């Protein structure tokens, strides 16, 4: 797994309505210092994606309620 530092990060969860071979497509993209948008990963699944947000408090990681 590579670590990429970026200025902006976008996570798109797209529900497929046509027969596309999967129910959901998740696209993870980022924008670096030169402001060019790059796609890091495209993930395909038939299960609804779960979005999880956490907070690192230094000595423990807590799940954030939305």
And the tokens for 4?
A: 């990429």
| ∠ Cα 39 24 2 (to 5°) | 35
Structure confidence by residue, pLDDT tens digits, 1-56: 778 889 999 999 999 988 778 999 999 999 987 788 899 999 999 999 999 999 99
What is the model's pLDDT at position 66?
66
Domain boundaries, the chain: 8-63
| pTM of the predicted model as reported, rounded to 2 decimal places | 0.78
Structure confidence by residue, pLDDT tens digits, 9-18: 999 999 998 8
What is the DSSP code (8-state) at residue 35? -
């Amino acid at each position: 797994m590579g670590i990429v530092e970026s200025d902006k990060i976008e996570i798109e969860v797209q529900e497929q309505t046509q027969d596309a071979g999967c129910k959901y497509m998740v696209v993870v993209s980022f924008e670096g210092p030169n402001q060019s948008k790059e796609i890091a990963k495209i993930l395909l699944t038939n299960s609804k994606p779960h979005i999880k947000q956490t907070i690192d408090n230094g000595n423990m990681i807590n799940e954030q309620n939305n």
